[in-house]
């Protein structure tokens, strides 16, 4: 029974992914032609996909008995669903199509990235066994979804406002964001190929910082590794045998998660390589190819969306990310605030949007300045959602 | 800037120094205001802001410093950057208990780690400079709120409906029409949308959502309360945070309760997830790690009836049994007991077996209770083992041959055993993993068989009387934030002095304001309201700072 629900749930979220992907076609046609028919098709498809994603959420919840927000895959999937919700809310008020053309791909990119983590369902460790898990994480996700609309609107604003061949820091920074997207795409691509299709797997046995023996499974050739790691092979029943694996020879202390770093290095190297080749072939900045999509946007409207989504999202973030979080921390860990890395970065995100609002209200940071800040805010959210859990060991590193 | 009162040339109203828009009719009376400092003239309807008008005395200068948004934002930025530095390496309270910090940081994080420690970043959030930054933020919030709250109150308290024609033209949304016939219809239409109307002759002011303007002041008040509450923690009696270590079966007195309460640890339980037909089976098969499902201490809670009798033995009266689990603390009085961790590293007993030199077993194995060892163990077969010396936490043998113990806790026990068969006896020293003969040519050997450990729970005893204040502070902050963000203050001025004139202002969301006004204007036969900022629609003009 439960496993059937899980299968349906997984099928729903996969199908929703493809529906959203296909919905981009009528959406871009409607922007070009202005035909209402295509716009309606695209929006209906997005709504259907969102309902299916909600179905994924509810069925997975029913199957496991707890809200599906307990590991990395589930966090990222929830975030990407809330991005679609954020877009639908924005569309309801402002009827903007261009925003969808950017928001939907961001959501797709995220969910593709998230599905590289283990998609298995986990039982809950004791500290997570609380109703506050659902209340806290869902509120934060909704606020993230809305706050992200600010960044998407800001990005569109920048694409339109910044001239293509300008020799300036702003044009270069915008192009760096494009390079970043290429690197993420390359990362998703290589992981799918090496882990899925090729099945590359080199195991290394090492001692972690707590002094426990662990086994790291490298899906990419080892460039960096844990100090004194031994290349091994699993021979069944938790028994390992020493073998030979490729290793470039850089060893790092166990404080650093070498396996993650190895993946990051490969993504950077391959991503930069792909980016360089693209630049050589196309002989243009990459944002030249997305800029035409943004040119249909109304700058004033993008600025308005950028501001309003912060105004709507920020109080929700303060409620879910600080207040609910503090209540739960008090119940589970006996202190409402403890400067754990994740808590600290939620605080930093909170402070950042405070700065955004004060600069906007009192120092006239509108238009381009506000757009840049909105983009930085999104990077902070991503950092807090993903990087903190992976890099920094703390109470929140569940994945 | 002149500090003289300003008389409005248009209506004759006398305004306080520093006023920009006449408080009575809204005409610009002081055009030499600093455009860099004041972005939105309409924010306080041109009322004078203290920090923008006076700058003579030292007090003025300090006031200007703390009320400055630039300074406020810089403080917030500094706090955020400092907070991020604190996550570079773990803070001291995250490193293993008892580890030497300097050694730990240097060993784990190298030179950078050492520097981190030397700079005091291992205790960043309680450092004097971080707390000082927080204090400066509080000062900034208080002074900026007063600086702007007073003129805001003045401008909102008793708004005048009659405004000068230039006031209308200065609004982002405005419209003039020669035909003033439908003014009543417009007012009626807007009234239906919840606007309150104030009329002065032919002039009308329609307003809604004024509460929104107080949002920032409410939320700043909440923040001040919160910061105040977090300082209270340093007052004695407000805050208790103690770790309680209880071995299974033991009853301990709770500290900080003046001997009134006792807790007995009946049993400590760790449950793990096991495969068995649940949806998690596959995950459990795939992982090598053990996933814990429950940490639980079954306690009995006692109250001491003799607490007021000086020198009396405690008379424990059972209050109740409770199972403390993570997320389910036990509450009593103003205290809470939380499941924090557990410890099974301490040995409870050790079991030995006597053997001869051919490793042949002699007699029965014997067990030594490490907390309360016996002197003599009769192992049968006419053999006896006497314990001649015992050190629970053995360091060395002193000159007299006695065993020296570092602590009374059984972490590294050592024994001197005397084995006797009634006729002769021999001595040997036993330590963990090590057995040394003391007498020559020993015939017998005492072999270690197994040990049993104590299961101890670690509970956190917590009292935090600052909690209600901090929670109220943050609650007020949130209410203010939602009021300021989700409600819009919309004002519309209408008159038919010279044809039909309408001007409209909102603190945010002009889009929504237009959605209020345009349908009403249309119903009454007027054009859409003019939006000064909508003219660059689709032309790629970057919105400038001056609006």
Q: Looking at the predicted structure, is the pLDDT value of residue A164 above 60?
A: yes
Kindly determine whether residue A64 and residue B280, on different chains, have CB atoms separated by under 8 Å.
yes
Q: Which of B288, B542, B546 sits opposite A368 (nearest CB)?
A: B542
Task: For residue A327, give the chain B residue with the closest CA.
Answer: B471
According to the model, what pLDDT value does residue A392 have? 61
According to the model, what pLDDT value does residue B3 have? 61
Return residues 192-231 of A near B (CB < 8 Å): 209, 215
According to the model, what pLDDT value does residue A398 have? 47
What angle separates helix A36-64 from helix A98-114, to the nearest 10 degrees?
Answer: 30
* Residue-wise burial string across A85-106, b where 16 or more C-beta atoms lie within 10 A, e elsewhere: bbbbbbbeebebbbbbbbbbbb
Residues above pLDDT 70, as percent of chain B: 93
Report chain A residues whose CB lies below 8 A from the CB of B295. 126
Residue B273: name the closest of A379, A153, A66 by CA.
A66
According to the model, what pLDDT value does residue B187 have? 93
For chain A, the average pLDDT equals 89
Shortest Cα distance from A124 to chain B (angstroms)?
Answer: 7
For chain B, the average pLDDT equals 85
**How far is Cα B289 from Cα A212, in angstroms, rounded to an integer?**
12
| B155: number of Cβ within 10 Å | 18
Kindly determine whether residue A160 and residue B540, on different chains, have CB atoms separated by under 8 Å.
yes
Q: Which of A2, A304, A323 sits opposite B279 (nearest CB)?
A: A2
According to the model, what pLDDT value does residue B265 have? 94
Residue B472: name the closest of B222, B190, B114 by CA.
B222
According to the model, what pLDDT value does residue B427 have? 85
Q: What's chain B's length in residues?
A: 547
In this prediction, residue B426 has a pLDDT band, given cuts at 50, 70 and 90, of confident
CA A348 to chain centre: 18
Structure-token pair, residue A78: 């929830």
Q: Looking at the predicted structure, is the pLDDT value of residue B543 above 70?
A: no
- Convert the pLDDT of each residue in A171-229 to its tens digit: 999 999 999 999 989 988 888 888 877 878 888 888 776 677 778 888 888 888 887 78
Question: A72-76, B27-31, B33-37: which range is least confident on average?
Answer: B33-37
Return residues 370-389 of A near B (CB < 8 Å): 388
Kindly determine whether residue A300 and residue B288, on different chains, have CB atoms separated by under 8 Å.
no
CATH top class, domain B1-47: mainly beta
Shortest Cα distance from A138 to chain B (angstroms)?
Answer: 18
The C-alpha angle with vertex A213 and arms to A210 and A217, in degrees rounded to 5, equals 115
**How far is Cα A289 from Cα B53, in angstroms, rounded to an integer?**
51
Give Cα separations from B72 to A211, A365, B221 (angstroms). 46, 15, 16
Q: Which of A127, A323, A330 sits opposite B474 (nearest CB)?
A: A323
The full set of domain ranges for chain B reads 1-47, 49-157, 165-209+488-536, 239-343, 347-453
For the sheet with B500-506, list strands across it: B196-200, B203-208, B490-495, B500-506, B173-177, B530-531
**B34 or B385, greater pLDDT:** B385
Kindly determine whether residue B460 and residue A304, on different chains, have CB atoms separated by under 8 Å.
no
Residues above pLDDT 90, as percent of chain A: 56
The C-alpha angle with vertex B66 and arms to B65 and B67, in degrees rounded to 5, equals 95
By the CB < 8 Å criterion, does A58 face chain B? no
- Convert the pLDDT of each residue in B348-391 to its tens digit: 888 988 888 888 888 889 899 888 888 888 888 888 888 888 88
According to the model, what pLDDT value does residue A242 have? 82
According to the model, what pLDDT value does residue B67 have? 85
Return residues 423-482 of B near A (CB < 8 Å): 460, 462, 467, 470, 474-475, 477-478, 481-482
Q: Are A61 and A115 in contact (CB under 8 A)?
A: no
According to the model, what pLDDT value does residue B400 have? 79
**A351 or B394, greater pLDDT:** A351
**How far is Cα A257 from Cα A265, in angstroms, rounded to an integer?**
12
Give φ, ψ of B21 to 5 degrees.
-110, 135
Q: Are B161 and B205 in contact (CB under 8 A)?
A: yes
Report chain B residues whose CB lies below 8 A from the CB of A238. 288
- Sequence-ordered strand ranges (E) for A55-160: none
- Distance, first Cα to last Cα, chain B: 23
In this prediction, residue B538 has a pLDDT band, given cuts at 50, 70 and 90, of very low
With residues binned 3-state (H G I as helix, E B as strand, rest as coil), the percentages for chain A, rounded to 5, are 70, 10, 20
Q: Are A75 and A69 in contact (CB under 8 A)?
A: yes
Give one DSSP letter per residue of B43-94, joined into a string.
GGTT---HHHH---SHHHHHHHHHH-HHHHHHHHHHHHHHHHHTTSS--GGG
According to the model, what pLDDT value does residue B61 have? 83
State the average pLDDT over residues B133-142: 93
Residues ≥6 apart with Cβ < 8 Å to A273 = none
According to the model, what pLDDT value does residue B64 have? 84
Q: Are B298 and B323 in contact (CB under 8 A)?
A: yes
According to DSSP, residue B126 is labeled G
- The SS3 of residue B191 is helix
Question: A133-137, A236-240, B171-175: which range is least confident on average?
Answer: A236-240
Whole-structure pTM value:
0.87
Report chain B residues whose CB lies below 8 A from the CB of A352. 80
* CA-derived radius of gyration, chain A: 22
Residues ≥6 apart with Cβ < 8 Å to B190 = B197, B206, B492, B516, B517, B520
Q: What pairs with residue B431 in β-bridges?
A: B414, B434
By the CB < 8 Å criterion, does B279 face chain A? yes
By the CB < 8 Å criterion, does B239 face chain A? no
State the average pLDDT over residues B136-159: 88
By the CB < 8 Å criterion, does A347 face chain B? yes
- Convert the pLDDT of each residue in A62-102 to its tens digit: 999 999 999 889 999 999 999 999 999 999 988 899 999 99
In this prediction, residue A235 has a pLDDT band, given cuts at 50, 70 and 90, of confident
Residue A6: name the closest of A104, A83, A74 by CA.
A74
State the average pLDDT over residues B282-308: 88
Shortest Cα distance from B426 to chain A (angstroms)?
Answer: 41
| B318: number of Cβ within 10 Å | 11
**How far is Cα B223 from Cα B218, in angstroms, rounded to an integer?**
9
Q: Looking at the predicted structure, is the pLDDT value of residue A21 above 90?
A: yes
Q: Which of A298, A339, A358 sits opposite B86 (nearest CB)?
A: A339
Sign, CA dihedral A75-A80-A81-A85, equals positive
Residue from A325, A344, A357 whose CB has the most chain B CBs within 10 Å, to mutate: A344
Helix (H) or strand (E) holding B263: strand B261-272
By the CB < 8 Å criterion, does B111 face chain A? no
Kindly determine whether residue A307 and residue B533, on different chains, have CB atoms separated by under 8 Å.
no
Q: Are A340 and A396 in contact (CB under 8 A)?
A: yes
Q: Looking at the predicted structure, is the pLDDT value of residue B194 above 90?
A: yes
Question: A69-73, A346-350, A353-357, B65-69: which range is least confident on average?
Answer: B65-69
According to the model, what pLDDT value does residue B311 have? 77
Sign, CA dihedral B333-B339-B343-B347, equals positive
In this prediction, residue B405 has a pLDDT band, given cuts at 50, 70 and 90, of confident
Q: Looking at the predicted structure, is the pLDDT value of residue B37 above 60?
A: no
By the CB < 8 Å criterion, does A119 face chain B? no
Q: Are B351 and B366 in contact (CB under 8 A)?
A: yes
Residues above pLDDT 90, as percent of chain B: 36
Report chain B residues whose CB lies below 8 A from the CB of A323. 474-475, 478
By the CB < 8 Å criterion, does B36 face chain A? no
Kindly determine whether residue B462 and residue A130, on different chains, have CB atoms separated by under 8 Å.
no
Q: Which range has highest mean pLDDT (A320-329, B138-147, B525-534)?
A: A320-329
According to the model, what pLDDT value does residue B542 have? 35
By the CB < 8 Å criterion, does B79 face chain A? yes
According to the model, what pLDDT value does residue A376 have? 95
| B338: number of Cβ within 10 Å | 24
State the average pLDDT over residues A337-360: 92
Q: Are B305 and B315 in contact (CB under 8 A)?
A: yes
Report chain A residues whose CB lies below 8 A from the CB of B327. 126-127, 129-130, 331-332
Q: What are the residue ranges of helices labelled H in B376-509?
A: 467-486
Question: B52-56, B323-327, B328-332: which range is least confident on average?
Answer: B52-56
Task: For residue B545, give the chain A residue with the closest CA.
Answer: A364
According to the model, what pLDDT value does residue A289 have? 87
Domain B165-209+488-536, architecture per CATH: 2-Layer Sandwich (3.30)
State the average pLDDT over residues B191-195: 93
Q: Looking at the predicted structure, is the pLDDT value of residue A315 above 90?
A: yes
According to the model, what pLDDT value does residue B33 have? 55
- Convert the pLDDT of each residue in B59-86 to its tens digit: 888 888 888 888 999 999 999 999 998 8
According to the model, what pLDDT value does residue A82 have? 96
Q: What pairs with residue B366 in β-bridges?
A: B352
Structure-token pair, residue B159: 């708004």
Residue A347: name the closest of A362, A364, A369, A325 by CA.
A325
- Convert the pLDDT of each residue in B487-513 to its tens digit: 999 999 999 888 899 999 998 888 889
Kindly determine whether residue B83 and residue A127, on different chains, have CB atoms separated by under 8 Å.
no
According to the model, what pLDDT value does residue A243 have? 81
What angle separates helix A36-64 from helix A72-94, to the nearest 10 degrees?
Answer: 150
Helix (H) or strand (E) holding A133: helix A131-161
- Convert the pLDDT of each residue in B230-261 to its tens digit: 989 888 889 999 999 999 989 999 998 888 99
Residue B246: name the closest of B456, B410, B461 by CA.
B456
CA A126 to chain centre: 27
Q: Are A231 and A251 in contact (CB under 8 A)?
A: no
**How far is Cα B104 from Cα B113, in angstroms, rounded to an integer?**
9
Kindly determine whether residue B279 and residue A304, on different chains, have CB atoms separated by under 8 Å.
no
Q: Are A310 and A132 in contact (CB under 8 A)?
A: no
């Amino acid at each position: 029974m439960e496993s059937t629900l899980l299968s349906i749930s997984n099928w729903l979220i996969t199908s929703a992914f493809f529906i959203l992907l296909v919905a981009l076609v009528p959406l871009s046609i409607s922007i070009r032609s202005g035909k209402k028919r295509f716009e309606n098709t695209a929006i209906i498809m997005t709504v259907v996909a969102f309902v299916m994603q909600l179905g994924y959420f509810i069925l997975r919840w029913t199957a496991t008995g707890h809200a599906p927000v307990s590991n990395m895959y589930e966090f990222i999937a929830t975030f990407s669903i809330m991005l679609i919700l954020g877009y639908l809310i924005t569309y309801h008020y402002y009827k903007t199509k261009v925003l969808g053309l950017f928001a939907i791909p961001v959501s797709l990119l995220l969910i593709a990235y998230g599905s590289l983590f283990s998609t298995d369902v986990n039982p809950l460790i004791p500290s997570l066994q609380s109703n506050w898990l659902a209340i806290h994480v869902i509120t934060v996700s909704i606020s993230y979804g809305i706050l992200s609309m600010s960044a998407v609107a800001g990005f569109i604003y920048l694409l339109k406002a910044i001239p293509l061949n300008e020799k300036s820091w702003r044009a270069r920074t915008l192009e760096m964001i494009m390079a970043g997207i290429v690197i993420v795409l390359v990362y998703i691509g290589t992981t799918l190929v090496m882990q899925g299709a090729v099945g590359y797997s080199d195991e290394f046995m090492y001692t972690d910082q707590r002094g426990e023996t662990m086994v790291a499974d490298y899906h990419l050739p080892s460039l960096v590794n844990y100090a004194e790691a031994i290349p091994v092979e699993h021979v069944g029943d938790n028994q390992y045998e020493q073998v030979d694996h490729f290793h470039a020879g850089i060893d790092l202390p166990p404080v650093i998660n070498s396996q993650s770093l190895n993946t990051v290095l490969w993504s950077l190297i391959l991503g930069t390589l792909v980016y360089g080749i693209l630049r050589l072939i196309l002989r243009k900045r990459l944002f030249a190819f997305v800029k035409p999509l943004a040119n249909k946007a109304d700058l004033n409207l993008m600025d308005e969306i950028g501001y309003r989504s912060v105004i709507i999202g920020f109080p929700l973030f303060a409620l879910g990310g600080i207040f609910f979080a503090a209540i739960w921390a008090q119940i589970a860990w006996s202190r409402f605030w403890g400067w754990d890395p994740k808590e600290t970065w939620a605080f930093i995100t909170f402070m950042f949007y405070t700065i955004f609002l004060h600069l906007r209200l009192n120092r006239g940071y509108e238009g381009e300045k506000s757009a840049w800040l909105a983009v930085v805010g999104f990077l902070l959210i991503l950092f807090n959602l993903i990087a903190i859990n992976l890099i920094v060991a703390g109470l929140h590193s569940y994945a | 800037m002149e500090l003289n009162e300003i008389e409005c040339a248009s209506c004759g109203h006398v305004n306080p120094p520093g006023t920009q828009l006449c408080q009575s009719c809204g005409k610009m009376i002081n055009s030499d205001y600093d455009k860099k400092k004041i972005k939105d003239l309409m924010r306080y309807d041109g009322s004078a802001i203290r920090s923008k008008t006076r700058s003579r005395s030292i007090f003025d200068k300090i006031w200007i410093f703390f009320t400055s948004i630039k300074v406020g934002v810089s403080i917030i930025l500094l706090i955020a950057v400092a907070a991020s530095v604190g996550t570079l390496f773990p803070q001291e309270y995250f490193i293993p208990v008892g580890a030497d910090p300097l050694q730990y940081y240097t060993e784990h994080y190298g030179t950078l780690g050492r520097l981190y420690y030397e700079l005091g970043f291992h205790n960043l959030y309680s450092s004097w400079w971080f707390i000082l930054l927080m204090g400066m933020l509080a000062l900034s919030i208080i002074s900026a709120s007063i600086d702007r709250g007073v003129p805001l109150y003045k401008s909102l308290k008793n708004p005048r409906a009659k405004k000068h024609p230039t006031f209308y033209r200065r609004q982002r949304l405005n419209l003039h029409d020669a035909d003033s016939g439908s003014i009543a219809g417009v007012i009626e239409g807007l009234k239906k949308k919840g606007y309150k109307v104030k009329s002065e002759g032919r002039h009308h002011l329609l307003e809604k959502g004024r509460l929104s303007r107080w949002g920032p002041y409410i939320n700043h008040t909440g923040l001040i309360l919160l910061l105040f509450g977090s300082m209270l923690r340093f007052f004695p009696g407000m805050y208790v945070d103690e770790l309680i270590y209880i071995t299974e079966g033991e009853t301990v007195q709770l500290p900080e309760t003046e001997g009134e309460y006792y807790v007995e640890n009946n049993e400590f339980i760790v449950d793990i997830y096991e495969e068995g037909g649940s949806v998690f089976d596959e995950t459990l098969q795939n992982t090598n790690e053990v996933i814990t499902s429950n940490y639980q201490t079954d306690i009995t809670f006692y109250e001491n009836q003799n607490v007021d009798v000086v020198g009396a033995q405690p008379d424990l009266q059972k209050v109740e049994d409770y199972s403390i689990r993570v997320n389910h603390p036990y509450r009593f009085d103003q205290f809470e007991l939380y499941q924090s961790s557990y410890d099974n590293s301490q040995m409870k007993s050790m079991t030995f077996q006597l053997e001869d030199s051919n490793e042949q077993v002699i007699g029965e194995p014997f067990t030594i209770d490490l907390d309360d060892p016996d002197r003599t163990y009769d192992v049968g077969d006419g053999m006896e083992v006497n314990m001649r010396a015992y050190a629970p936490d053995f360091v060395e043998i002193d000159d007299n041959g006695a065993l020296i113990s570092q602590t009374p806790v059984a972490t590294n026990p050592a024994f001197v055993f005397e084995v006797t068969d009634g006729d002769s006896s021999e001595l040997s020293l036993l330590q963990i993993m090590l057995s040394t003969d003391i007498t020559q040519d020993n015939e017998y050997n005492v072999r270690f068989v197994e040990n049993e450990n104590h299961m101890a729970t670690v509970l956190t005893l917590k009292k935090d009387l600052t909690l209600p204040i901090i929670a109220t502070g943050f609650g007020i902050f949130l209410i203010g934030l939602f009021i300021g963000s989700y409600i819009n203050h919309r004002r519309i001025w209408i008159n038919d002095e010279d044809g039909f004139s309408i001007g409209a202002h909102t603190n945010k969301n002009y889009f929504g304001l237009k959605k209020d006004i345009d349908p009403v204007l249309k119903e009454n036969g007027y054009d859409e309201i003019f939006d000064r900022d909508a003219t660059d629609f689709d032309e790629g003009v970057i919105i400038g700072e001056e609006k």
